[in-house]
Amino acid sequence: MSVYCEAVHELLHRYGTPVARIVVIDRTKLGLLGELDEQYAAKTLQVTVDTVRNLKAVNQEPTALPANLQFDAPHVMLPEAAAISAYRPGQTDPPRAGNLLVTLSAISFTADREEALVYGSFTCGGMCGQGVIMRMTKAADGWRVARVLDVWIS
């Protein structure tokens, strides 16, 4: 299982409600880490401060997500404006029933590629959503979430 697939699996677990469709923004986006306390993040995730800084560094420019991702629910990958429109029809409209809007960052791998950091977030309505940094470890059967830092929640 890829880092992105495991990250979305974790986001679905945190959401805790069945999802009809995952609407994924097709380019990486870090989001809301400008004021992140790097020391606290490193301690919580049990990584070095440089590892946290590298997550920011690899996310200076958006990049395309892989097109072949598979998730636990039906999904569509769209450019940001189209993803938001698919998620909710109008700026003031509620989300379409069962839709979850997901954003993922670029992945920051360790030199040996045995661990990774990735940011993921989901939006499920007005004051409903969460953004987290996940520390992943490589296992024999794929990537697994080892630690999570809540960045924001609403």
DSSP string, 76-111: EEE-HHHHHHHH-SSTTSPPPTTEEEEEEPPPEE-T
- 43-47, 76-80, 88-92, 105-109: which range is least confident on average? 88-92
- 32 pLDDT more than 70: no
- pLDDT given for residue 4 in this prediction: 96
User: Could you report how far apart the first and last alpha carbons of the chain are, in Å?
Assistant: 29
Q: 73 in helix, strand or coil?
A: coil
pTM of the complete model: 0.92
Q: What phi and psi, each to the nearest 5 degrees, are found at residue 90?
A: -140, 160
Q: Which residue has the tokens 């009809």?
A: 20
- 1 pLDDT more than 60: no
- 33 pLDDT more than 80: no
Task: Report CA torsion sign: 23, 29, 34, 40.
Answer: positive
What average pLDDT does the chain have? 90
Looking at mean pLDDT, say which of 65-74, 94-103, 105-114 comes out highest: 105-114
- pLDDT given for residue 62 in this prediction: 92
